[in-house]
Amino acid sequence: MAQEIELKLALGASGPNALRQHPRLAHHNPQREWLANTYYDTPERALERARIALRIRRTPDGYLQTLKTAGSGQGGLHARGEWEWPIDGEELDVDGIRQQAPNTIDEEDLARLAPRFTTDFTRERWDVIEADATIEVALDIGTIHAGDQQVPIRELELELKTGSADTLWQLAASLADGVALRPANASKAQRGAALHDGWTLPDNAADAQSHWNAALEALDAWQDTGNTDYRHRAGSQLEALGGSAAQRLASALRDADDARPDTWLTPEMSRDWLAAWHYAIA
């Protein structure tokens, strides 16, 4: 088992082009690949409830099966267990799950796994050196599909390959100059499950970190549904969080009545998002 440590960032509509032109990336040619993924779960959503993601990914080189466990997440920074191995085709390798990740999924659930939703996206990837760390910068642009419904993918993942996790935020702060971005909590798997079954958000937030996480989850829900109730909920959680950056963001959400989720986020907000995160974990 490997441990994946990454920082997930949602991008505004202007974000991808601005990112490609950012001084940290503009002089490096990215690797590009198209990735198609099918995610699996039981009819009762046993994996989703356990915050496990199981997928088959089709790449230019063949098929990979990946299982990720819940791990821990804090305001966009995620650390979780990950198993990945090549398979021969599109059929789920149940025996491989037993061998590679024993006891992660009950035998009864293994027998009832079925496709639930898909993601298709193009990934542009850069390797960046930040202080003592090597970080993979991955820009994903595409679509999540569940039945007749779909939502866009426009996200940035900073994955730590070597070095300290603190460097992920240092690089994010550098990229925040001129790029519309914010931390995001929901993975593609969580967004696909929500597209299939609807969003379920936590009811209570008792401290700064939980207010922060609740604000991000509400913004993820607003992004994919356009439902203004989620926007109001995100603003309320930011107000409860406190701190000047969070208050500015809450005010911007209150004034966003005519804004679409994909255009509301601007480069000028990006520094406030990172400052609010530091306030939340201080």
Q: Do 136 and 265 have their domain in common?
A: no
Q: Do 166 and 251 have their domain in common?
A: no
**pLDDT above 60: residue 72:** no
Question: For residue 92, what pLDDT is reported?
Answer: 96
The predicted model gives 169-188 an average pLDDT of 92
The predicted model gives 236-246 an average pLDDT of 95
Q: Do 57 and 14 have their domain in common?
A: yes
Distance CA 216, CA 237 (A): 9
Q: Do 180 and 207 have their domain in common?
A: no
Q: Do 251 and 131 have their domain in common?
A: no
Q: Do 177 and 204 have their domain in common?
A: no
Per-residue b or e along 30-46, where b marks 16 or more CB atoms closer than 10 Å to that residue's CB: eeeeebebbbbbbeeeb
Question: Which positions ≥6 away from 263 have C-beta within 8 Å?
Answer: 12, 13
**pLDDT above 90: residue 278:** no
Distance CA 269, CA 259 (A): 15
Task: With cut-offs at 50, 70 and 90, classify the pLDDT of residue 163.
Answer: very high
Distance CA 110, CA 216 (A): 32
Percent of the chain residues past pLDDT 90, beyond the cut:
73
The predicted model gives 273-280 an average pLDDT of 91
Task: With cut-offs at 50, 70 and 90, classify the pLDDT of residue 242.
Answer: very high
* Positions of E strands within 131-195: 133-146, 149-162, 181-183
Average pLDDT, the chain: 91
Helix (H) or strand (E) segment spanning residue 124: strand 114-130
Q: Do 246 and 276 have their domain in common?
A: yes
Look up the domain containing 6 and give its range.
2-190
Q: Do 182 and 203 have their domain in common?
A: no
Question: For residue 127, what pLDDT is reported?
Answer: 94
CB neighbours (10 Å) of residue 264? 20
Task: With cut-offs at 50, 70 and 90, classify the pLDDT of residue 28.
Answer: confident
Distance CA 23, CA 275 (A): 22
Calculate ∠ Cα 256-17-192, nearest 5°.
65
Question: Which positions ≥6 away from 194 have C-beta within 8 Å?
Answer: 186, 200, 221, 224
Question: For residue 1, what pLDDT is reported?
Answer: 57
Distance CA 44, CA 67 (A): 18
Q: Where does a domain end: 138, 156, 190?
A: 190
Calculate ∠ Cα 60-63-65, nearest 5°.
135
Q: Do 139 and 31 have their domain in common?
A: yes
Q: Do 180 and 257 have their domain in common?
A: no
How many structural domains are present in the chain?
2
Distance CA 13, CA 88 (A): 37
Distance CA 13, CA 16 (A): 7
The predicted model gives 66-76 an average pLDDT of 71
pLDDT in tens, 41-65: 999 999 988 889 999 999 888 999 9
| C-alpha to C-alpha distances, 178 to 15, 75, 269, nearest whole angstrom | 9, 21, 10
**DSSP label at 60?**
T
Distance CA 95, CA 99 (A): 6
Domain CATH for 11? 2.40.320.10
Q: What are phi and psi of 28, to 5 degrees?
A: -120, 135
